[in-house]
Amino acid sequence: MSSDPIKFGELEGRIGTMEALAGQSRQDMLEIRQDYKAIMARLASMPTRTDLDTWKWQWLLASLALYALVLGTILGGLSWLDPH
């Protein structure tokens, strides 16, 4: 660092630079807020672990019901062919 005093013209330049950086920082924060809102909206529409677990059990039960229906149909058809 220099021990020389800052000249008035130099000070105005530095302040101008700081104002420009502050304006750019504000713009960056606005963009970050927009991105954050978009991310939160996307997350809100995604299924949760509970949703996935519920769907897993629903698919399992639906598969078992379909399996029982097919097996029942086959056994019923076979018993109709040979009624002993």
pTM: 0.49
Instruction: List the structure tokens of 19.
Output: 């104002």
Residue type, 55: W
37 and 22 in one domain?
yes
How many distinct structural domains can be found in the chain? 2
**Mean pLDDT throughout 44-52?**
91
Q: What band does 58 get if pLDDT is binned at 50, 70 and 90?
A: very high
72 and 38 in one domain?
no
Model pLDDT, residue 15: 85
Domain housing 77: 49-84
Phi, psi (degrees; rounded to nearest 5) at 50:
-65, -40
pLDDT digits (tens, 9 = 90+) for 7-41: 766 778 888 889 888 989 999 999 999 999 999 99
42 and 2 in one domain?
yes
- As a whole number of angstroms, the longest Cα–Cα distance in the chain is 114
Distance of CA 68 to the CA centre of its chain: 38
42 and 1 in one domain?
yes
Q: Is the pLDDT of residue 67 over 90?
A: yes
Classify 27 as helix, strand or coil.
helix
Q: What band does 55 get if pLDDT is binned at 50, 70 and 90?
A: very high
